[in-house]
């Protein structure tokens, strides 16, 4: 059995609403509906995104002893992408142009690409990436072990498909602020708070007097 990583990069999300109880059949059924499905034999350019777990990267099973880590549920998102290899398309196109003694027209290039897709794609293996996810239902948060925008978007789409009644909010400065112990008054102010415009100082031997600093700290309207 693999163990969860000890380092890396993570993006946090917060949940608006409750996940189904991870011990329930409904939770496993939701995962299974959106489990990973292979595109190994696909004959077209495709992307497949779905849930798997560390012990079974095929997505066919989610053993509780693997996914339940007490403090969190450990899942993985598998993202497979099958694309026509650009280098092979260039090689076939060059050969076709040599044989024709001229450059291919746009229509001919399109036909060649479609022909190559039929011929090559069933033989091309998809690229595979697997990203760890920790679900913390008790604190309504998720850690996704990637900071790439594309991966966060793929994850967001999968999560919303899996748990349609649960809002997935980014763990940015605003949403994180709403999860801290600020007062109701501070929460209201949070909506309108603007950046402090710190004074730009010329090099001087002494710090400016307080009045100067106070005047300079104007909040942008």
Binding site for another protein (CB under 8 A): 1-12, 54, 65, 69-72, 74, 134, 136, 139, 141, 143, 147, 170-177, 179-182, 186, 189-193, 195-201, 203, 207-208, 210, 213-214, 216-217, 219
Nearer to another protein, 119 or 197 (CB): 197
Looking at the DSSP bridge assignments, the partners of residue 49 are 79
Nearer to another protein, 7 or 164 (CB): 7
Nearer to another protein, 26 or 216 (CB): 216
Nearer to another protein, 97 or 170 (CB): 170
SS3 81: strand
Nearer to another protein, 123 or 198 (CB): 198
Rounded distance between C-alpha atoms, residue 122 and residue 42, angstroms: 6
Spatial CA neighbour of 49 closest among 146, 166, 123, 119? 146
Q: Does the CA dihedral 106-110-113-119 come out positive or negative? A: negative
- Contact indicator for 194, 221 with CB cutoff of 8 Å: yes
Rounded distance between C-alpha atoms, residue 48 and residue 14, angstroms: 25
Nearer to another protein, 86 or 183 (CB): 183
Report the nearest approach of another protein to the CB of residue 36 (Å). Answer: 20
**Centroid of chain to Cα 75:** 13
**Residue 25 region, left (φ>0) first, then alpha (ψ -120 to 50), else beta?**
alpha
CA torsion 14-53-58-127 (nearest 10°) is 60
Nearer to another protein, 129 or 137 (CB): 137
Report the nearest approach of another protein to the CB of residue 55 (Å). Answer: 10
- Looking at the chain, how many residues does it have? 221
Report the nearest approach of another protein to the CB of residue 108 (Å). Answer: 44
Rounded distance between C-alpha atoms, residue 125 and residue 121, angstroms: 8
Which residue's structure tokens are 């900071």? Answer: 147
């Amino acid at each position: 059995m693999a163990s969860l990583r000890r380092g890396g990069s993570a993006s946090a999300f917060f949940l608006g609403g409750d996940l189904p109880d991870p011990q329930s059949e409904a939770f496993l059924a939701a995962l299974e509906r959106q489990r990973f499905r292979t595109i190994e034999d696909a004959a077209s350019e495709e992307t497949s995104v779905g849930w798997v777990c560390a012990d079974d990267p095929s997505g066919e099973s989610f053993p509780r002893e693997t996914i339940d880590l007490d403090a969190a549920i450990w899942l993985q998102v598998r993202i497979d992408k099958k694309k026509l290899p650009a280098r092979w398309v260039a090689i076939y196109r060059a050969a076709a142009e040599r044989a024709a003694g001229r450059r291919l027209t746009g229509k001919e290039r399109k036909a060649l690409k479609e022909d190559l897709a039929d011929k090559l794609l069933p033989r091309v293996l998809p690229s595979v990436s697997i990203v760890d996810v920790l679900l913390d239902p008790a604190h309504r948060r998720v850690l996704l072990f990637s900071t790439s925008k594309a991966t966060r978007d793929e994850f967001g789409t999968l999560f919303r498909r899996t748990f349609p009644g649960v809002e997935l909010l980014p763990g940015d400065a605003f949403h994180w602020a709403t999860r801290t112990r600020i007062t109701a008054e501070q929460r209201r102010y949070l909506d309108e708070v603007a950046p402090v415009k710190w004074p730009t100082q010329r090099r001087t031997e002494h710090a400016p007097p307080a009045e100067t600093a106070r005047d300079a700290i104007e909040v942008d309207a």
